Amino acid sequence: MSNFMCGCRRSCVTLALIASAVVGVLAAFLTITGAITVAPAALIVAFGIAVAYPWLLLVVFRAPRAAEYSGCLCSAVRASLAGALGTAAAALVLLAFTFAVTSVLGAVVTGVLAAGFTLLLTAAACLAKCLAGCQE
């Protein structure tokens, strides 16, 4: 329960999860209605960011002061890695298979991609906030 609440306020990672769920559902809805499509160049960029981000985390945590940070670190890293994994998997599926514009499966995978990428970015912001010591 401590991962979800800090006193009477929601934690940063909880807000990141909520934001990614909202963005994922919105992206899936807009994809199935044909309002948006996903360009292959955007998929390649999202995949590249999702693959490079865990390596960046590895470099950051090899720093000598990494052991000094508080408990917010674990939840932010877990959320970041989950977002990277979801983004990479969904981008690979969308790059490998061609879906019709109004395909339900294509919309679901696009929603997972948007949710994963949003989680990756918002959890990275939570991680930066944790590393800077701005938990108030």
Domain assignment of residue 54, yes or no: yes
Domain assignment of residue 136, yes or no: no
Q: Number of folded domains in the chain?
A: 1
Domain assignment of residue 121, yes or no: yes
Domain assignment of residue 20, yes or no: yes
| Ranges of the chain with pLDDT below 70 | 1-10, 62-71, 134-136
Q: Which residues have C-beta within 8 Å of that of residue 127, sequence separation ≥ 6?
A: 57, 73, 76, 77, 80
Domain assignment of residue 107, yes or no: yes
DSSP for residue 34: T
Which domain, by its residues, includes 75?
10-131
Q: Report the DSSP pairing between strands 9-10 and 5-6.
A: antiparallel
Domain assignment of residue 77, yes or no: yes
Query: pTM (2 decimals)?
Result: 0.83
Provide the pLDDT for residue 90: 94
